[in-house]
Amino acid sequence: MGYSVVRGGAEAMQAAEEMLDFVRLGGLDRGDAEAAPPTFEVIDMMLRSQRSAVDRIMAEAGFYAPRLAATALVQAEGDAIEASFILRSLRASLPRIEPALPVEVAKMRVLRRISSAFKEVPGGQYLGPTRDYTLRFLRRALEDELPAARLSEVIAALGGDDGALPEMPRVVEMLREMGLISQPPEPPEEEPVDITMQPLRFPRPPRSARLQALARGETGMLNGLAYSSLRGYGHV
């Protein structure tokens, strides 16, 4: 079946946009709009409770702005892909002031550190807050949960934090010191390519462009790509 292009009027498109707010604000539910919390409180709630969704939106948009990402999530009614588009559009309209500096891994407070290639790595491995080992049963008790009381229980179970950052040297640097791997043959670029300003040049885009495309890719697609490569379902 082919795709037919239909031309509509400006009034129809404006009405469709107004209907988005009608649905978002509960118009279909016939609820009491006066009883609904203000939108800024909903955004605050997204920041507190939807950590993974906010992080995903910022990553796919290539723009670190937690509150703006939470606002986009509310605007998109929880659709993470649409929220990423919204934040990406905003980022494209902003001026480039200064480039970001590379992150020093040794100075990070790491929540999770897992190596799939080495059983033992300098500094150890940390599971962190992960659902990999949960049974994924629906926790009906969340309906009656008191956040402050539950947080106190969790802190008591985890123990205190002395504030000291564990040393986590990079495994690659250790292997280079041992002479097991060499420096990459590709020389470092004088200035990283910005894929938001310059298109990818095939058949072999610069390394910085490839990394940016992967970092900003849709999460589900990247998971499928990773598992296909890991399980040997074709050359990636």
pLDDT tens per residue, range 133-155: 889 999 999 999 998 999 999 98
Nearest to 22 by CA among 96, 98, 77: 77
What pTM was estimated for this model as a whole? Answer: 0.80
Residue 2's CB is within 10 A of a number of other CB atoms, namely 3
Q: At how many degrees (to 10) do helices 39-49 and 66-75 cross? A: 120
Stronger pLDDT, 211 or 109, i.e. the higher one: 211
Sign of the CA dihedral running 15, 17, 18, 19: positive
* Beta-bridge partners for 126: 113
Instruction: Provide the pLDDT confidence category of residue 188 given band limits of 50, 70 and 90.
Output: low
Q: Rounded to whole angstroms, how far apart are CA atoms 115 and 99?
A: 29
Res 33 pLDDT > 80: no
